[in-house]
Amino acid sequence: MSDLGNVEFPPRIPEQHELWAMLFVVVGRWHDAIMRHYVNAGLDLIESFEGLRLTAYPDPGSGGEPYTIGYGHTGSVNGQPVAPGMTITLDTADDLLQADLTPRGPTPGEKP
């Protein structure tokens, strides 16, 4: 006779709430994977349209301000306005893009 340890026989059938909990975990993991895929695809698309420049450059329309750096960032970098000659690293460009895409206020239709 083999040692089955703590294995129940016949096997216990999970109750309905346990099945729902298992389904919730599986769907949650699937949802997270799908969302990561689409977020990464969206970032790739933005990066391809914006292009990457690690040195600040003038606005093509005005030939001056606003100066742009990274993936189209025109705000400040470490509290300093983007200015001629400013340089950043690739990591900083990625961080600025993430910050630029982070919602800052109420979503459309939401009251502040």
Q: Is 50 a catalytic residue?
A: yes
The answer to whether 59 is a known catalytic residue is yes
DSSP E strands, 1-112: 53-57, 68-70, 76-77, 80-81
Q: Which residue in the list 50, 94, 95, 100 is annotated as catalytic? A: 50
Question: Whole-angstrom Cα distance, residue 19 to residue 32?
Answer: 20
**Pick the catalytic residue: 32, 44, 59, 65?**
59
Residue with tokens 């975990």: 25
Q: Taking a C-beta distance cutoff of 8 angstroms, is the pair 47, 97 a contact?
A: yes
Q: Which residues are catalytic?
A: 50, 59
